[in-house]
Amino acid sequence: MIGHSHWFRMVWYAIAALALSAGCHSEAPRETAQTNSQTDRQQRTPVVLSPQARQTVPVQVATVQRHRLAREIRTTAVLEADENRVAHVSPRVPGRVVAVKALLGDTVQAGQLLATLDSLELGQAKAAYLTAKAHYEVARTTYEREQRLLQQQISSQREYLAARSEFLRAETQLQAARETLRLLGLSEQEISQLAWGKHDLPLSYVPLRAPFAGVVIEKRVTVGELLTPQDRPYTIADLSTLWAMLDIYEKDLGAVSLQAPVRVTVDAYPHESFQGTITYISDLLNQHTRTARARVAIANPHRQLKPGMFGTAVITAPAESTNAILAIPTSAVHRLREQPVAFVQEAEGVFVPRQLQLGRTVESYVEVLTGLHEGEQVVTQGGFYLKSALLQEEGGEKR
């Protein structure tokens, strides 16, 4: 009796399990069928605009055509400062820092004073120049006077020759002193303005000036520090143009050329792209990564981009073949039930949604793999209104 009851319970459990399994398997096809039915209904349901609606709704269409879309090559990018616009500012003579004017991050103009040094060597060179200049003026005056006296037969030939010799010696010394100041970094204007007691600053003061307009990206100087020509107290960079360094894979090198347009995006500005062109492609290939370095010059007038930023670069290269592909404007593509669709105009004021299978996107066009035929008319403006009208007809389902 106990065995019979146990057998009865086992049979009952088996029947219940089979029923539950059948119910689970039947539910999935029902859900799939419901989804397919909604999709089919969307594909068949046209959106009809009345004559009054066509006058108020700005619907524009474009013909589905074949296009030769350029090839896009994606790679990584690292931003760097333009090496041709980076300067290390160093003193031409040793000196002790007496004033610091420019700080880290400051924007400076060409010729702007960065710091002032007190240099014994420069002070001695300036004093030697002023002494030589005074000697030259005296010797020139004496020579000119002796030349006049000789012409009047008042002075002797011997006195004239002595004055001329002294003048030539003084002229040579002045030129040597002037050249020494040039070698120490003084300009012709600064040399011509030298005079005893003309300026409040000592002759030994040396100005450090910016060679061009830019930003102070490095500062290694403090008041009282002794600097030599080997030191680099300041580094100035012009960041109005940056370099984006790209790694081009070996398989893509044949499609990349100089002056090819490039779009660069960075994480800091994900919705903004920065345009540039390739200005350099390395002749050497990295043996480990099998890539070649390429350089893109990018305008950076507002200094949004910073050296060291990582980004993504998209290189626009010529089409791989002469075969045109079916493509439509990106404005013609909408998302409906998480699927890409386009509204096809079948008659005046009659539009039918068509599910698409898309390929690559190049600029303002997207490749169409399936869903459209050449010559059909698709909506490029006003599709949002048609999409809203379609969903309202289907009972206000979520877009």
DSSP state of 374: T
pLDDT of residue 223: 95
What's this model's pTM, rounded to 2 decimal places? Answer: 0.61
Find residue 353's DSSP bridge partners: 343
| pLDDT cut 90: percent of the chain above it | 45
DSSP state of 70: P
Amino acid identity of 164?
R
- CA distances 333 to 97, 157, 240, Å, are 66, 103, 38
Question: Which DSSP helix (H) or strand (E) runs through 51?
Answer: helix 51-56
Instruction: For residues 221-227, give the mean pLDDT.
Output: 94
Give the pLDDT confidence of 238-289 residue by residue, as tens digits.
999 999 999 999 998 988 999 999 999 999 998 899 999 999 999 999 999 9
Closest among 61, 37, 20 to 349, alpha carbons compared: 61
Give the pLDDT confidence of 53-78 residue by residue, as tens digits.
777 878 888 888 888 777 788 899 99
Looking at the predicted structure, is the pLDDT value of residue 149 above 50? yes
More confident residue, 307 or 6: 307
Instruction: For residues 293-307, give the mean pLDDT.
Output: 94
- What are the backbone dihedrals phi and psi of residue 359, each rounded to the nearest 5 degrees, phi first? -110, -135
Looking at the predicted structure, is the pLDDT value of residue 84 above 90? yes
Question: Which DSSP helix (H) or strand (E) runs through 140?
Answer: helix 120-151
Looking at the predicted structure, is the pLDDT value of residue 371 above 50? yes
Mean pLDDT (the chain, rounded): 83
Instruction: Name the band, by pLDDT with cuts 50, 70 and 90, for residue 147.
Output: confident
Reduced to 3 states (helix: H, G, I; strand: E, B; else coil), residue 144 is helix
Torsion, Cα 389 392 393 395, to 10 degrees, reads: 170
- What are the backbone dihedrals phi and psi of residue 194, each rounded to the nearest 5 degrees, phi first? -70, 135
Least confident of 10-19, 43-52, 257-266, 383-392: 10-19
Reduced to 3 states (helix: H, G, I; strand: E, B; else coil), residue 376 is coil
pLDDT of residue 24: 37
